[in-house]
A = this chain, B = another copy of it.
Amino acid sequence: MSSNREIHLASRPQGWPTADNFRLVETEVPTPGPGQIVVRNRFISVDPYMRGRMNDVKSYVPPFALDAPLDGGAVGEVVAGGGAGIDVGDTVLHGLGWREYALLDAGSARRVDPDLAPVTAYLSVLGMTGLTAYAGLLDVAAMRPGETVFVSGAAGAVGSMVGQIAKLRGAGRVVGSAGSPAKVARLTELGFDAAFDYHDGPVRDALKAAAPDGIDVYFDNVGGEHLEAAIGAMNLHGRAAICGMIAQYNAAEPPAAPRNLALVIGKRLTLRGFLVGDHGGLREQFVTEVAGWLREGKLSYDETIVDGIENAPEAFLGLLRGENLGKMLVRL
């Protein structure tokens, strides 16, 4: 463990990122100061929202700096230092991924139990991903039993949770869209009542066929045509939880947003953007409920795992191209 490799942002992507925007950098394994820990990362989380941070624009989180390591959720083993009740040997969840060894204040890590669940679960179903789905569906969109729910990007880490949680919480009908026949087949296995491949034709038509009585809740991971179709299909008092708009993250110019937006008036629709960070108050309830479903075998989650820090950029590019089923992770 004499060297540490990490991924830096070499340049800001214009439109779609390429491998050239990233650089693998070799550094020293850091030495902890008082109250600090060094974590040997085992898994790092690869998430769509990172694309936004690659732009040099003011946003809810600061943009990634050039020539500095990227960051993001990670789990690993403490190999040096300690503090705040965390010791060498502990497995912790923290926010400094995209590097083999992370140096951080012990107080900013959270110990997790590797015997209670696979450590990757703390990055996905029991972590930020799962809470995003849970909070967006139940708090932001306030889904009620019997309602029809539509989720885009439904085979992704968040989308697949949304659909399953909706069913477990009594949704009347759950519809998902995804980007390949294999993903559509997987959605059916996960209990979605209907699913379609958005490449097969206009989303509006596919949604109408899948939800002939309209939808009450839309969980948006995609934006663009999906959002427009969802607004068109919404029943009175429908709610959209806007979680992501991956369809436009790489557009040089933002696409024309829904031309049917005026429908929000007559149909009394609510479109609400959210970030999981505002919903931490739900965490305890979320963990209890989701862990229960996992124990009872009622909830499945998929992972797409890429090996090696040097392949993290490719994992991210693959995520943007929709090559993942479920959570995209890099194993170090």
- Give A residues with C-beta under 8 Å from B: 52, 59-60, 223, 227, 236, 242-245, 248, 253-275, 278
Contacts and interface: CB of A to CB of B under 8 A. Distances in A.
A211 B262 CA distance: 25
B274 A271 contact: no
Contacts of A262: 223, 245, 248, 254
A257 to B, nearest CB: 4
28 contacts: A59-B266, A60-B236, A60-B266, A60-B268, A223-B261, A227-B261, A242-B264, A242-B265, A245-B262, A245-B265, A253-B259, A254-B259, A254-B262, A256-B257, A256-B259, A257-B259, A257-B261, A258-B261, A264-B273, A265-B274, A266-B273, A268-B272, A268-B273, A268-B278, A269-B272, A270-B271, A271-B271, A272-B272
Interface of A is mostly: loop
Nearest to A255: B259
Contacts of A273: 263-270
A273 B253 CA distance: 27
A41 B82 CA distance: 82
A75 B52 CA distance: 55
A272 B263 CA distance: 11
A180 to B, nearest CB: 24
Nearest to A273: B264
A64 to B, nearest CB: 15
A257 B258 contact: yes
Nearest to A259: B254
A145 to B, nearest CB: 22
Closest 8 CB pairs of A and B: A264-B273, A256-B256, A60-B266, A257-B261, A265-B273, A254-B259, A257-B257, A271-B271
A328 B265 CA distance: 21
